Amino acid sequence: MSTASRSSCLIFPNITMGKTLKKYGKMSRREGVALSTGEGVLKVIQKRPYHPGQHGNANAGRRKRLSVFGTQLREKQKAKRLYGVMERQFRNYFAKASRMPGNTGENLARLLESRLDNAVFRLGFAKTRPQARQMVGHALFTVNGKKVDIPSYQVRVDDVITIRDNKKEKGVFLDFAERMKHHAVPSWLHMEADSTGKVVGVPEGEDLKEVYDPKLIVEFYSR
C-alpha cells in the first residue's frame, strides 16, 4: 500500500474499513456477541442475528448446543477476535499468564487489556480496537516520549501515551474532543490532556470483565 493510501486510511476511516466491518460482522455473528464497538458491527448483528453462511438463516434461533470442549473453544475464539490476536500469540499470552503469580485467567485478561492498541482504544483515541491497532501501526503515538508502532506493546504503570505532535491534525482525531464528552475512561487509565493519557494502575475487577470467560480459556488449555 502506498504512503498516500495509508494516509487516506486514517483520514477517511469509514471509507476504508469496509473489509474490517464485514470481517468483524461475520465473527460477531458466529460468536453471538459484538466483538467491536463500531456502530456498523452492532447493526450487522441486529439485522442478521444468526450464524453466517449458507444455512445460517435457516437455523436462526436454533444455535447448536455445544459440548464442554466446544464451549471452551468458543470462549478462546471470542477473546482472540476481540483483541485481534492470532493463535500463536494468544498461546504465548496464556503461557506467560500461567507463569505469573495469582489467578491465570485474570493474568491473561490483564495482559490482553494492557496491549498498547487496547489502551489507545480505552482512552478514547480510537473508536474501535481495529482502528486503534491501525493507528498504533501507523506510529501516531509515543509512549514516554518514544515512538511506538507495535500494537502488542505492553503498557505499564506510569507510562504516558501521547499523540505525536505532527499527527494531531489527522482526520481521525477531528471529532476526538466531541467523542470524549461521552467516553468513560477505565480506572486504570487517566486522560491528562486532550492528547495525553497515562497508565495509573493495572486493570482489575470490573476493568477485566469482557464478553469472554477467561476461566473457560484456562480449562481449554489445561486439557
Domain boundaries, the chain: 3-110+211-221, 116-201
Q: How confident is the model at residue 61 (pLDDT cuts 50, 70, 90)?
A: low
CATH number of 3-110+211-221: 1.10.1050.10
Burial degree of 98 (CB within 10 A; 0-12, 13-18, 19+): middle
Q: How far is CA 211 from CA 32, 177, 191, in A?
A: 10, 28, 25
Phi, psi of 58 (to 5 degrees): -65, -30
Output the pLDDT for position 194.
Answer: 81
- Is the pTM value of this prediction over 0.75? yes
**Residue 127 CA from chain centroid, whole number:** 10
Output the pLDDT for position 179.
Answer: 87
Output the pLDDT for position 193.
Answer: 81
Written as one letter, the residue type at 20 is T
Residue 200 has pLDDT above 60, yes or no: yes
- What's the CATH architecture for 116-201? Roll (3.10)
pLDDT tens-digit profile of 104-159?
A: 999 999 999 999 999 999 999 999 999 999 999 999 999 999 999 999 999 999 99
CB count within 10 Å of CB 48 equals 16
Contact 185, 119 (CB under 8 A): no
How many angstroms separate the CA atoms of 147 and 166, rounded? 12
